[in-house]
Amino acid sequence: MSKRKTEPKIEAVVQTNQDDVKSLFPAENQPKPLFSFDLGNGFCKVRSAHMSAEYRSIYGVLSRRNTLVNVADRLVIEFDGSRYVFGDDVRLLCDTEPTALTSRIRYTSDRYRLLFASALWRTFSSRVSEGVLYPRGVISIPVGEFNVQKDKEVRQLLQGDYAIHGLNEATLYAQVRPNDLIIIPEGLGTFWLAAFDTENKLFERYAHGSTAVVDIGYYTTDVVLMQDGVYVVGAAQSADIGMGTVAAAVLEELRRQGAYGLDVWQIDELLTQKAVTINGHEYPLEAIVQTELSALAERILNFVNSILRGKNIRTVIIGGGGAALLHPYLSVGKADSWLLSADARRGNVEGAFNFLARREREAAARS
């Protein structure tokens, strides 16, 4: 697997006091910038017409000490009087270990709004000179959280006025409205990416019959079912198993061998390596990782098969951050029907953005 490209990072100060900024927002009179956010347990993945980026869904409080680092080059935001660092820079700029936003209740907590604000800045900070933005976008959440009530709660949480200040004295103003947010289950974007051709028509393989999408994330694996290209309500399921299981098991084994100094997030970055050097000593990784991948694949297969049993599934699409590593284990004897997504890691966020852009073009053509 190729090494993930490192995206440039930006520092910002975020203020979301609606009483203070309410007067800054004029009547809406401009096109809505589009976005797709997959703010997952492992990574925040963002997509717009001019931006494609990701960073780890971990954060910490910015150290008060002199860091001797130009923090203007990092993703740091201020919220409720505290400055938080996001992504791998937590180890560099914070005094504590990274905190993961992995709780199931996060989708209705202020921590998720904080995560969303960082994604807005990461995506649209280059447009600060354009005045107030009224973004319209797609938000992906685990299928276990995807229901009418959760949809309403997420919209209520994220709606409102945002004034995001960069240290370069630029300010991004945005107003997020509930009817401009589309909530989808994780995995649906991966289907959209695979199913439509360059003319926005469904491939025959996906236009007729049943398709399952298995989205393997860091903490969850989600399964969605499609019938003739249409999402099957009530058929999707989610399990609390994912690549975090592999990283944690590898970390535990390394520590058993006396290798201390890395955290689980750093181990996750090394799963494709044959060995790792810790405190001057080299430890083999490949055999450990293969054992844990095989064990995780067995659990995922048991989960998926329990859902698909008795159903006539034409194609299974494997996507998500763990798809590339696990596909060889999952597709044994099923290579023709269990397919790896063309963009497994980012398929969900990319497919959702393509869907939204296509829908907006069609709406504009009808008007």
Clarify whether residues 177 and 281 are in a common domain: no
pLDDT at 30: 66
Into how many domains does the chain fold?
Answer: 2
Q: What stretches in the chain show pLDDT beneath 50?
A: 1-27
What are the helix (H) ranges across the chain? Answer: 18-21, 90-93, 110-124, 148-158, 188-195, 204-207, 243-256, 264-269, 286-308, 323-330, 347-366
Are residue 133 and residue 43 in the same domain, yes or no? yes
Q: 213 with 181, same domain? A: no
The model's pTM is: 0.86
Cα 25 → chain centroid? 29
Q: How much is the pLDDT for 32?
A: 93
Please say whether the beta carbons of 205 and 232 come within 8 A: no
Asked whether residue 1 is assigned to any structural domain, the reply reads: no
Rama region for 273: left / alpha / beta (φ>0; ψ in -120 to 50; rest)? beta
Residue identified by tokens 């400055």 is 83
Q: From CA 61, how far away is CA 76, in angstroms rounded? A: 9
H-state helical runs in 270-346: 286-308, 323-330
Residues 26 and 120 both lie in one domain: yes
Please tell me whether residues 169 and 313 are part of one structural domain.
no
Reduced to 3 states (helix: H, G, I; strand: E, B; else coil), residue 98 is: coil
Question: What pLDDT was estimated at residue 104?
Answer: 65
Establish if 36 belongs to a structural domain.
yes
What is the pLDDT at residue 1?
44
To 5 degrees, how large is the angle CA 22–CA 158–CA 112? 130
Q: What is the structure's pLDDT at 167?
A: 62
Q: Is there a single domain that holds both residue 172 and residue 205? A: no
Residue span of the structural domain in which 361 resides: 186-367
Residue 82, CA distances (Å) to 88, 122, 250 in order: 19, 19, 34
- Scored b (16 or more CB within 10 A) or e, 195-224 reads bbeeeeeeeeebeeebbbbbbbbbbbbbbb
CA dihedral sign, ordered 5, 11, 16, 21: negative
Final residue before a domain boundary, out of 157, 185, 213: 185
Residue 194 lies in a domain: yes
Q: Say whether both 191 and 132 belong to one domain.
A: no
> Of 185, 217, 246, which closes a domain?
185
* Co-location of 166 and 305 in the same domain: no
pLDDT digits (tens, 9 = 90+) for 237-277: 999 999 999 999 999 999 999 999 999 989 999 999 999 99
Quote the CA–CA distance of 119 and 125 in Å, as a whole number: 10
Give the pLDDT score at 80. Answer: 67
Inter-CA distances, 338 with 22, 63, 140, 174, Å? 51, 47, 23, 42
Length of the chain equals 367
Backbone angles phi, psi at 363, to 5 degrees: -65, -40
pLDDT of residue 63: 85
Domain containing 143 — which CATH number? 3.30.420.40
